[in-house]
């Protein structure tokens, strides 16, 4: 696979040139970006997938919803519906996308919408009188100029060590990171040392206006089914199957193994749409564990207590209050 990717180097160089040229045209104002009076916060990445955008969106929703009317706008990857759609929580993941549905099921007071045309989506959300819009995975969507860009890069997979698609996983040249005012290294070990933090800071070569934070994935102590909860530790004496359709399941696998759990792992591609045959195969299993994103796609096909998910959330290693104040400062300035 690595040899094949190296063979695609000419295409990666061409793709890099095209995306660099496009960004240059936007930066020069030749291609137009639309700005907004209300606070628009973009959470995105340069590496394709696996940086923890969904947990970060949920972190911001939990933080901001008590005091503001907050909306999220996603493309709704692989959804069957078209155009702008406002979620009520009764949709299927196939209709609206797994992550938007996950947001709506968890944060019922949030305004959750999908639209591939972000300008049109923002226009529609303004009609809902929202006070803050969170753009999910829109860092490369230059037709919209977010007031605050938050760029995520995963520990161990820093964008500065990557290469352009299809040889690597970069969506654009690394110089594009300079559009972000906040950079967060996600999925760090909880015991990451100060020395390694400074080493990572040096590798990223951030601009003076950019602020760097470090976060990790915090796993819940309980697994959840539709009407049932159980301690994760209750799986120690049971055989179960882990089903993942995410970009990088390795941190979850490592966590479960560190907790002494014995399981079979069935890995699928990110945002995988499970076929009838695959679901029938899974229905034969006595006990299944999956991610929350996969759960919203699979839940209707399993009885309660057969399929569980392990909730996760973003947690900061340090300077969490400084991060929150940075967000509030931007919101109030707008």
Q: What is the pLDDT of residue 187?
A: 95
H/E stretch holding 57 reads helix 53-64
Q: What is the pLDDT of residue 16?
A: 94
Q: Locate 151 and state its tokens.
A: 């760029």
Q: What is the pLDDT of residue 226?
A: 87
The backbone torsions φ and ψ at residue 62, rounded to the nearest 5 degrees and listed phi first, read -65, -35
Query: For the purposes of burial, counting CB atoms within 10 Å of the CB of 92, is it exposed (0-12), middle (13-18) or buried (19 or more)?
Result: middle
Q: What is the pLDDT of residue 9?
A: 86
Q: How many CA atoms lie within 13 Å of 152's alpha carbon, on the beta-carbon side? A: 24
Q: Locate 188 and state its tokens.
A: 């760090």
Partners of 214 in the beta sheet? 185
Q: What is the pLDDT of residue 110?
A: 98
Q: Which residues of the chain have pLDDT under 50?
A: 1
Q: Please give the Cα distance from 260 to 129 (Å, whole number).
A: 49
Q: What angle do CA 72, 212, 32 make, to 5 degrees?
A: 50
**85-105 confidence digits (pLDDT tens):** 999 999 999 999 999 999 999
Q: Please give the Cα distance from 114 to 118 (Å, whole number).
A: 9
């Amino acid at each position: 696979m690595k040899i094949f990717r190296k063979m695609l180097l000419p295409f990666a160089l061409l793709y890099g040139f095209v995306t660099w040229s496009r960004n240059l045209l936007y930066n020069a104002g030749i291609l137009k970006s639309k700005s907004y009076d209300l606070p628009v916060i973009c959470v995105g990445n340069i590496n394709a997938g696996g940086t923890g955008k969904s947990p970060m969106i949920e972190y911001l929703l939990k933080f901001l919803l008590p005091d503001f009317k907050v909306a999220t706008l996603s493309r709704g990857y692989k959804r069957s519906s078209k155009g702008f759609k406002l979620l009520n929580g009764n949709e299927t993941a196939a209709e609206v996308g797994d992550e938007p549905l996950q947001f709506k099921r968890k944060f019922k007071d949030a305004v959750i919408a999908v639209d591939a045309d972000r300008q049109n989506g923002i226009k529609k959300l303004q009609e809902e009188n929202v006070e803050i819009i969170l753009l999910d995975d829109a860092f490369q969507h230059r037709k919209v100029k977010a007031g605050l860009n938050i760029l995520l890069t995963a520990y161990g997979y820093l964008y500065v060590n990557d290469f352009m698609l299809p040889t690597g996983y970069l969506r654009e040249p690394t110089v594009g990171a300079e559009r972000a005012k906040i950079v967060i290294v996600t999925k760090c070990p909880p015991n990451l040392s100060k020395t390694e933090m400074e080493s990572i800071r040096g590798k990223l070569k951030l601009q003076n206006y950019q602020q760097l934070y470090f976060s990790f994935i915090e796993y819940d102590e309980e697994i959840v089914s539709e009407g049932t909860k159980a301690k994760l530790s209750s799986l120690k004496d049971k055989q179960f199957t882990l089903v993942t359709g995410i970009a990088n399941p390795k941190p979850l696998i490592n966590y479960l193994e560190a907790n002494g759990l014995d399981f079979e792992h069935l890995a699928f591609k990110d945002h995988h749409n499970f076929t009838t045959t695959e679901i029938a195969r899974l229905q034969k299993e006595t006990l299944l564990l999956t991610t929350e994103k996969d759960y919203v796609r699979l839940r209707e096909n399993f009885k309660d207590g057969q399929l569980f998910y392990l909730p996760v959330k973003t947690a900061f290693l340090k300077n969490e209050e400084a991060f929150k104040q940075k967000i509030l400062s931007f919101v109030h300035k707008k």
